[in-house]
Amino acid sequence: MLNNKIPPVIVVLFFAGIMALIAHYSVIDFTVFVAYLAASLVIIGCASCVAGVVSFKLAKTTVNPNKPEQASKLVTSGIYRISRNPMYLGFAFILAGWGVWLSSVWAMLGVIGFIGYLTLFQIMPEERALTKLFGDEFTIYKARVRRWL
C-alpha cells in the first residue's frame, strides 16, 4: 500500500509555490556581475595590447601591422611567450567584453567573426612575411607559441 496521502498534482503546486517564494525573495541581480565581467575582459584586452606594443618598442622594431617586412627583430619575449599575436588577442578580449556588456550570446558571434577574419586576412599574410624574413627562427617560434592563446 502506498504511503502517499497527498495527490501528486497538489505536491507539484506546493513546490511550485515554494519556488515562487524563493525566487521572489532571493532575486539575484546579474547586472553587477555582467559589468564586472565585461570590465575585466576589456582590462585584460587592453593590458595584452599594451604589453605587445611595449615589447615591440623595447625591441626597437616596427609595430605597424601593415608592414611586417619592416620588422628588424623577431620578438619572442614578454607576452610573446604566451601568444604570437597579443595585440590581436587583446582586441578579441575587448570585443568579448563588449559582447558580455551587451548581454547577447548572438553578439559574441562578432568575436568569432573577428578572429576568423583577422586570422585569414591579417595574421596568415604576416606569418608568410615573417617566415621569409626570419626563416627557421620564426618557424621554431611558431611551433613553440600558439597563434592566439
Q: Which residue has the higher pLDDT, 69 or 35?
A: 35
Q: Is the dihedral of CA 55, 58, 61, 63 positive or negative?
A: positive
- Residue 124 grid coordinates: 596568415
Which band of pLDDT confidence, cut at 50, 70 and 90, is reported for residue 20?
A: confident
Residues 69 and 140: their CA atoms lie apart, in Å, by: 18
Distance set, CA 81 to CA 1, 65, 118, 121 (Å): 70, 19, 20, 23
* pLDDT score of 1: 53
On whether the pTM is more than 0.85, the answer is no
Output helix, strand, coil percentages for the chain, rounded to the nearest 5.
70, 0, 30
Distance set, CA 71 to CA 57, 125, 140 (Å): 11, 14, 17
Could you state, in order of their start, the residue ranges of all structural domains in the chain?
31-144
Q: What is the pLDDT of residues 49-85, one digit of tens each?
A: 999 999 999 999 999 988 888 999 999 999 999 999 9
Q: What is the pLDDT of residues 7-18, one digit of tens each?
A: 788 888 898 889
Q: What is the DSSP string of 102-129?
A: HT-TGGGHHHHHHHHHHIIIIIHHHHHH
Q: What is the pLDDT of residues 125-135, one digit of tens each?
A: 999 999 999 99
CB 52 within 8 Å of CB 79: yes
